[in-house]
């Protein structure tokens, strides 16, 4: 997973950190944890409804970045 949507949705600002490296490390840490909680999506999910919780970065009304936080296959 790449991007900064989870970090950005959490409300952290660059000014909260000593430098850019620490700010980037926070994104990577959040992304690693998010991946651990996601189920494996395979062909059995095709055509089935899914509940998705995601973090998104929207700039000037345009979606810039999104990251899944939770996925759950709905029962039919």
Specify the number of domains making up the chain.
1
Please enumerate in sequence order all residues whose Cβ is within 8 A of that of 31, keeping only pairs 6 or more positions apart, or say none.
1, 2, 3, 6, 67
Q: Specify the higher pLDDT residue, 47 or 2.
A: 47
pLDDT (tens digit per residue) in 3-16: 888 888 888 899 99
Q: What is the pLDDT of residues 18-76, one digit of tens each?
A: 999 999 999 999 989 888 989 999 999 999 999 999 988 889 999 988 888 999 998 76
Please tell me the predicted confidence (pLDDT) of residue 51: 95
Please tell me the predicted confidence (pLDDT) of residue 4: 86
- CB contact at 8 A, 30 and 62: no
What is the structure's pLDDT at 2? 76
Who contacts 68 (Cβ-Cβ below 8 Å, separation ≥6)? 1, 34, 38, 52, 53, 54
The domain containing residue 25 runs over which residues?
5-73
């Amino acid at each position: 997973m790449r991007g900064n949507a989870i970090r950005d949705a959490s409300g952290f600002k660059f000014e909260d950190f000593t430098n850019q490296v620490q700010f980037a490390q926070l994104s990577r840490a959040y992304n690693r944890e998010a991946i651990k909680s996601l189920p494996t999506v395979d062909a059995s999910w095709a055509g089935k409804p899914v509940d998705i919780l995601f973090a998104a970065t929207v700039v000037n009304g345009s979606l810039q970045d999104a990251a899944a936080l939770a996925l759950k296959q709905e029962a039919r």
